[in-house]
Structure 1
Amino acid sequence: MTALLGPAEIRGLAAELDIRPTKKLGQNFVHDPNTVRRIVDLSKVSDTDHVLEIGPGLGSLTLGLLGSGARVTAIEIDPVLATRLPVTIAERAPEARFTVRTQDALKLAAADLPDPPTHLVANLPYNVAVPVVLHLLAELPSLAHGLVMVQTEVADRMAAGPGSRIYGVPSVKIAWYGTARKVAPVPRAVFWPVPNVDSALVSFERAAEPAADRGEVFAVVDAAFAQRRKTLRAALSSWAGSGERAEAILRAAGIDPRTRGEQLEVRDFVRIAEGRALPPSV
């Protein structure tokens, strides 16, 4: 069984590396082995899976994932942490299948990973969680499943459905790729240093993407929520070219121009985006 890291080991590694966790990089290290085991269990990864982990830090979750038998590719932006991580893995899980890349996850490309990963499992820095998830889902179609730990408010927005006051751009864009749901809270006390926000786990299952131009659809989504109190006729006027043109496109898509963006599903935004290609007389 892989030996996981506890509070003493985490602090010892940090002292050895002279690391002071920074808010800029969103560094809050999980030091509770039971929490790691729970995350790995909820991720449902097995020895047939290739897991992509973002921001492995000192290796708490990495060791848990490797203990499942899965292959793990870790992406770590901090060169000090990335250099020490293989040593930790060699000490505690010498037979594990593990690779680390010193890289910004927001710049990760499919070509960087010759063996496409099947799962995303990560404790994500709160300040970049949604951009990282959206980038990876777009860049790596092989990612069929995910389980990420994020700030609770972010988790709520990622999993929100139409009609909710927190439903917005992240909700719609993630729904483009599949289904997200909030699965469990994570106590503050399992982190070092203790964050001043609550955390939660969000799971993801990929589905078939709509047969439409993603960039065009996402442009509509961005416009619809830029001023969410506005009706879609008003919110989409710049995107469409005028309020009258926006109203015509909306009516052609079967959507009341007085509707607001928070009431629409992904497929509604798809119909709106496709409507801009129709002749102006429509």
Structure 2
Amino acid sequence: MTKKSKKTHKYCEKKLKSMKFPNFSGQHLMSNKKLLNEIIERANINSSDIVLELGAGKGALTTLLAKSAGKVLAVEYDMKFVEILKKKTAQNINTKIIHKDIMKVFLPDEHFIVVSNIPYSITTPIMKMLLNNPSSGFQKGIIVMEKGAAKRFTSKSVKDSYVLAWRMWFDIHYIKDISRNNFSPPPKVDSAMVLITRRKEPIVQKKYYLAFLGLAQYALKQSNAPLDIALRGIFTLPQLKHIKKSLGISNGTPIGSLTNTQWGIVFNTMINYVQRPLWPKVKKK
């Protein structure tokens, strides 16, 4: 199980979209048995589960997953680790080692769980790969990631439109801090454990993903702006007054501080009372 140091690199969003990723170096192995067992316990895996592990390293977590899961898909890019993984799992017929860049992996069509210690460098792209499509088979995840990213994804206030969209279909919880001292060699920053579960009842229907993302992008251009300012151009003044009353908020409440449920109310008001041509369109970055 590996952690790769966070570092700034030249790869821009355009290149990320084209799936051209570098070979990341500076891997950090996690071998704390107590922590590894806690990850397995929290994942609550059974023999019918398909588990995807992104960044398997030398297999400290892979071998534990193989004891509980119906099938383990362990992804690793570093060839020397791939060889170690193959030797360690040679007797595990339920484990498949995939030598590939994480971002080039096809997600399972069936329901699947992710249990991983993901690279710092591509934390957000990995999360987008898993969460941007509410119709995918992704059901649950126990993911160890950079602490700063974990805080951003689980903060009560939200600034990123894609994070807000995730929350309409998934619950994302910050479980615990993980010290850098659990890795060898230790990275420069601490990590955190995050639990992701698919909502049994989504706040927004799957068919409205793009419509909601358009609203989120429009509203969060200024996440600290009051609701009236953030949503003007979509709603009329009477509609805004009705929304604030329904939400039970004051005039100066920042748009970024709304709860997930409140965002559902705003969205439902839009699709029910605003003509479709006035719905904000998704802007590709």
Task: Give yes or no for TM over 0.5.
Answer: yes
Inter-CA distance 205–259: structure 2 relative to 1 (3 Å threshold): same
- Among 225, 234, 241, which residue is 1:246 paired with? 234
User: Counterpart of 1:106?
Assistant: 103
In the alignment, residue 47 of structure 1 is paired with which amino acid?
Answer: S
User: Counterpart of 2:122?
Assistant: 128
Which stretches in structure 2 are left out of the alignment for 5+ residues?
A: 8-23, 245-250, 279-285
User: Counterpart of 1:66?
Assistant: 66
Instruction: String of CA shifts for 1:43-94, please: whole Å, max 9, x gaps.
Output: 111222110111112212111211334421122344443344222322xxx1
In the alignment, residue 36 of structure 2 is paired with which amino acid?
Answer: V
Inter-CA distance 105–136: structure 2 relative to 1 (3 Å threshold): farther
Q: Is the 8 A contact 2:5 2:121 kept in 1?
A: no
- Give me the TM-score of the superposition, normalised by structure 2: 0.72
**What is the correspondence of 1:22-61 to structure 2 with a 5 Å cutoff?**
23=6, 25=24, 27-61=27-61
- Among 126, 147, 153, which residue is 1:158 paired with? 153
User: Counterpart of 1:214?
Assistant: 209
User: Counterpart of 1:16?
Assistant: none
User: Counterpart of 1:277?
Assistant: 275
- Aligned CA-pair RMSD: 3.3
- Give me the TM-score of the superposition, normalised by structure 1: 0.73
Q: Is the 8 A contact 1:253 1:272 kept in 2?
A: no
- C-alpha distance in 1 between matches for 2:135 and 2:76: 17
Inter-CA distance 140–52: structure 2 relative to 1 (3 Å threshold): farther
- C-alpha distance in 2 between matches for 1:249 and 1:85: 61
Instruction: String of CA shifts for 1:87-121, please: whole Å, max 9, x gaps.
Output: 2322xxx13411122333334334xx36x242111
In the alignment, residue 222 of structure 2 is paired with which amino acid?
Answer: Q
In the alignment, residue 160 of structure 1 is paired with which amino acid?
Answer: S
- C-alpha distance in 2 between matches for 1:229 and 1:190: 37
Instruction: String of CA shifts for 1:176-207, please: whole Å, max 9, x gaps.
Output: 22212122222221112212222211112212
In the alignment, residue 122 of structure 1 is paired with which amino acid?
Answer: S
Q: Which moved more, 1:151-160 or 1:56-65?
A: 151-160
Inter-CA distance 262–31: structure 2 relative to 1 (3 Å threshold): same
Inter-CA distance 156–213: structure 2 relative to 1 (3 Å threshold): same
Q: Is the 8 A contact 1:51 1:117 kept in 2?
A: no
Inter-CA distance 258–277: structure 2 relative to 1 (3 Å threshold): farther
